[in-house]
Amino acid sequence: MRQYLLSALLASAAGTVLADDPAVESYDYIVVGSGPGGGPLASDLARAGYSTLLIEAGDDQGSNKVYSELNNFNTAGNDERSLWNFWVKHSDDPERERKFEHYVYRQENGSYYIGLDPPAGAKPLGIQYPRAGTLGGCAMHNAGVCSLAQDDDWNIIVNKTGDTSWEAPKMRKYLIQVEKNLYVTNGSTPDHGFNGEFHYSSLAQSNDSDGKAYVSGTGFLSIDTSDARWARQKNMPAVKILQEMAKLTGQNESDVANLVTKDILGNYPNKDEQSSFYAMAQHMDALGRRSSPNTYIRATLNDPAKYPLTVKLNSLVTKVLFSKEGETPVATGVEVMQGKSVYRADPRNKPDTKGPLVQYKAKKEVIVSGGTFNSPQILKLSGIGPADELKKFNITVVKDLPGVGENLDDNYEGSLLALGKSPVGGGFITMLYRTPNAPTKKRNIFTWCGPFSFEGFWPGFPTDYGQNEYECAMVKIGTTSRAGYVRLTSADPRDPPDINFRFFEKNGEQDLQEFVDSANLLRKAWQAAGDAVLPFNEKHPCPGTGAGNCTDAEQREMIKTQAYSHHATSTCAIGGDDDKMAVLDSRFRVRGVKGLRVVDASSFPVVPGAFPVLPTMMLSAKAAEVIIAEAGKV
């Protein structure tokens, strides 16, 4: 591989411009980041015949069973081979931060301390927000839960930009395009995609990286549901709970065994107003193997058609490069620092590790897909962002764009967690519903219940409470705060940014009350399930065995200090021409420059529904269509 070492160029701080050197490798498109935003997009561009370079900071763990078996997601989430630890804040108030039960400190001897009572000398780090720096991005360590955006999460883009191609009904075609649905009968409905043809020839047996997966055409993402036949056992405690949940949400309690098989990705009129059970859908194949952008990228690389895709691993993009000519800056390539674990969010990083710098040239465009924390960081390091912030770090302003890194959105999450007197049984079920007194007709909570514990993230998560644990995890849909930010801590591309979600900053009391109403409703269902289940020893939000032995105010306070999240979006948001906080137009183009787009979860103006991974892959498919259509016109 030819490398053009740029130490001299860098030393003169002129690294914002592409070197005029024929040794610089050149591609039609450069895509930065291989997650649900960038991975499918790079594969699609290569399949359309364009030479495409996909640059990924991490390496490829796709054949490692920790990642390839979806059930290992908790191990994957803690695995240092992919882990990027961001230590984030939830508010501006340091005292409130330290009340977070899993707040993380670094002790003097280097170990973590996690909790409320740190030893003397322990240095506060923050609240852990894990990301996966690896081929496939966070789709490699997530739980693979698939759900659709609310229709209005797409429609809001139409309202903001006037681009009617974002109308909700039109977005379904991207679901059909990306999915290879395994739980609906092939061909039985036009609302799903079935035709991806994956052949995992050796992935199943081998754990090395020569696993070959071939895909022809679209439909790279296998989606399947888990077996819910247990729900037919009327006397199982878990089923009693379902029956009570059905009663409280206007569903037929005699029909739960059927209801829990409902298609969560189905095309129902007014779906966003329906309170209903669904089968939990996950991006996996029929054997429970993780299907993801990683499998698509590898299939594209391995296809006998020899698509022009090049992947560079262990390559941290430090900035986008621009040409100097003309009035509007044009993105012409990227600068990369080579090496493993050079990013300081990587727990394996040694702070002084530094790799050689190289440049790559983009003949057509650069597409940034580093995810909600890294895309704004990359733009800012490249001189695109709020001018004042850039000047503070002596970064030459290429384009003053105040919205970059602002508008950070996320679902709020919490859980009703308890220990039964004996195992409650059952598996995962999903319910989307509207809490009593919710401000609109739309459902506002996604809950998934089962014999597990999930209480957010910290090094070593989750806690195992034994075989009697039972939880309904709750995800708040349609949060309206969006007051968080991602800002630089230095001009060194190896330093993670300062991330503050500023939870509940706007509309906080309303969102908290909806959360409390949700906990109260679910607890009521548990209590009504009777002797088969009780007593339930609740851990939170209302500790103890006395049902509702807490006021709403106490629960609100608990949720306010203990809520967590892991679906961050919207830091490079699409917006209208008249919106000075808009970062992108409706075709993903970064405003004020040419040849540069952002395609990932940061592009959404609002968090899409309750789970962003599938909507992000739909958005990625739309971006591929837009980019290929534009390229065809030239």
Ligand X SMILES: *[C@@H]1O[C@H](CO)[C@@H](O)[C@H](O)[C@H]1NC(C)=O
Ligand Y SMILES: Cc1cc2nc3c(=O)[nH]c(=O)nc-3n(C[C@H](O)[C@H](O)[C@H](O)COP(=O)(O)OP(=O)(O)OC[C@H]3O[C@@H](n4cnc5c(N)ncnc54)[C@H](O)[C@@H]3O)c2cc1C
Here the tokens at position 279 are 């089968």
* Contact partner at residue 369 from ligand X, ligand Y, none, CB < 5 to 8 Å by partner kind: ligand Y
188 is a site residue for ligand X (CB under 6 A) = no
164 is a site residue for ligand X (CB under 6 A) = no
Among 452, 464, 451, 449, residue whose Cα is nearest residue 425: 451
Region 248-307 residues binding ligand X, contact defined as CB under 6 A: 252, 254-255, 258
Among 114, 378, 472, 542, binds ligand Y (CB under 6 A): 378
Among 458, 428, 435, residue whose Cα is nearest residue 145: 428
Among 332, 340, 326, residue whose Cα is nearest residue 60: 340
Annotate each residue in 570-599 with x if it binds ligand Y (CB under 6 A) or - if it does not, as one string.
Answer: ------------------------------
- CB of 479 within 8 A of CB of 412? yes
Task: Tell me how far apart the alpha carbons of residues 383 and 401 are, in angstroms, rounded to a whole number.
Answer: 9
Task: Tell me how far apart the alpha carbons of residues 555 and 542 are, in angstroms, rounded to a whole number.
Answer: 7
Residue ranges of E strands in 286-412: 309-312, 315-323, 330-338, 357-368, 384-385, 399-400
- CB of 430 within 8 A of CB of 266? no
- CB of 557 within 8 A of CB of 513? no
Do the annotations mark residue 143 as ligand-binding?
A: yes
Three-state secondary-structure class, residue 125: strand
128 is a site residue for ligand Y (CB under 6 A) = no
480 is a site residue for ligand X (CB under 6 A) = no
Segment contacting ligand Y by CB under 6 A, of 12-20, 107-115, 272-280, 610-618: 610-618
Among 138, 362, 408, 519, binds ligand Y (CB under 6 A): 138
Judged by beta carbon, residue 12 or residue 394, the one nearer ligand X is: 394
Give the rounded distance of the alpha carbon of 511 from its chain centre. 21
Region 448-487 residues binding ligand Y, contact defined as CB under 6 A: none
Region 209-248 residues binding ligand X, contact defined as CB under 6 A: none
Task: Tell me how far apart the alpha carbons of residues 262 and 595 are, in angstroms, rounded to a whole number.
Answer: 43
Here the tokens at position 378 are 């990359």
Task: Tell me how far apart the alpha carbons of residues 232 and 427 are, in angstroms, rounded to a whole number.
Answer: 12
Number of residues that bind ligand Y (CB under 6 A): 40
Task: Tell me how far apart the alpha carbons of residues 626 and 634 are, in angstroms, rounded to a whole number.
Answer: 13
Residue nearest to ligand X (CB): 544
Judged by beta carbon, residue 339 or residue 592, the one nearer ligand Y is: 339
Give the rounded distance of the alpha carbon of 404 from its chain centre. 18
CB of 190 to ligand X, least distance (A): 12
Region 37-56 residues binding ligand Y, contact defined as CB under 6 A: 37-38, 55-56
393 is a site residue for ligand X (CB under 6 A) = yes
CB of 224 to ligand Y, least distance (A): 14
Segment contacting ligand X by CB under 6 A, of 102-110, 274-282, 339-347, 558-566: 102-110
Segment contacting ligand Y by CB under 6 A, of 268-276, 368-376, 437-445, 508-516: 368-376
Task: Tell me how far apart the alpha carbons of residues 386 and 402 are, in angstroms, rounded to a whole number.
Answer: 4
190 is a site residue for ligand X (CB under 6 A) = no
Annotate each residue in 62-101 with x if it binds ligand Y (CB under 6 A) or - if it does not, as one string.
Answer: ---------------x------------------------
CB of 617 to ligand Y, least distance (A): 8
601 is a site residue for ligand Y (CB under 6 A) = yes
CB of 602 to ligand Y, least distance (A): 6
Phi, psi of 290 (to 5 degrees): -60, 125
Task: Tell me how far apart the alpha carbons of residues 236 and 239 are, in angstroms, rounded to a whole number.
Answer: 5
Residue environment code for 54-81, b if the CB has 16+ CB neighbours within 10 A, otherwise e = bbbbbbbbbbbebbbbbebbbebbbbeb
- CB of 455 within 8 A of CB of 559? no
* Contact partner at residue 546 from ligand Y, ligand X, none, CB < 5 to 8 Å by partner kind: ligand X
Among 6, 31, 45, 57, binds ligand Y (CB under 6 A): 57
CB of 603 to ligand Y, least distance (A): 8
Annotate each residue in 525-564 with x if it binds ligand Y (CB under 6 A) or - if it does not, as one string.
Answer: ----------------------------------------
Task: Tell me how far apart the alpha carbons of residues 472 and 415 are, in angstroms, rounded to a whole number.
Answer: 6
- CB of 171 within 8 A of CB of 148? no
531 is a site residue for ligand X (CB under 6 A) = no
CB of 222 to ligand Y, least distance (A): 15
Match 């379902």 to its residue by tokens.
Answer: 242
Among 497, 422, 415, 484, residue whose Cα is nearest residue 454: 415
Residues in the chain: 634
Sign of CA dihedral 220, 31, 330, 574: positive
Judged by beta carbon, residue 208 or residue 464, the one nearer ligand X is: 208
Neighbouring CB atoms inside 10 A of 255's CB total: 12
Among 18, 30, 31, 32, binds ligand Y (CB under 6 A): 32
DSSP symbols for 377-432: HHHHHTTEE-HHHHHHTTPPPSEE-TTTT-SBB---EEEEEEE-SS------EEEE
CB of 39 to ligand Y, least distance (A): 7
549 is a site residue for ligand X (CB under 6 A) = yes
Residue nearest to ligand Y (CB): 35
Residue 262 sits at the vertex; the CA angle it makes with 257 and 266, to the nearest 5 degrees, is 175
Judged by beta carbon, residue 41 or residue 184, the one nearer ligand Y is: 41
Segment contacting ligand Y by CB under 6 A, of 398-406, 428-436, 481-489, 605-613: 605-613
Under the rule (CB under 6 A), what is the footprint of ligand X?
Answer: 107, 109-111, 152, 155-156, 159, 186-187, 194-195, 207-208, 252, 254-255, 258, 393-394, 544-546, 549
Binding residues: 142-145, 317
Under the rule (CB under 6 A), what is the footprint of ligand Y?
Answer: 32-38, 55-58, 77, 130-131, 133-134, 137-139, 141-145, 316-317, 369-372, 374, 378, 566-567, 600-601, 611-613, 616
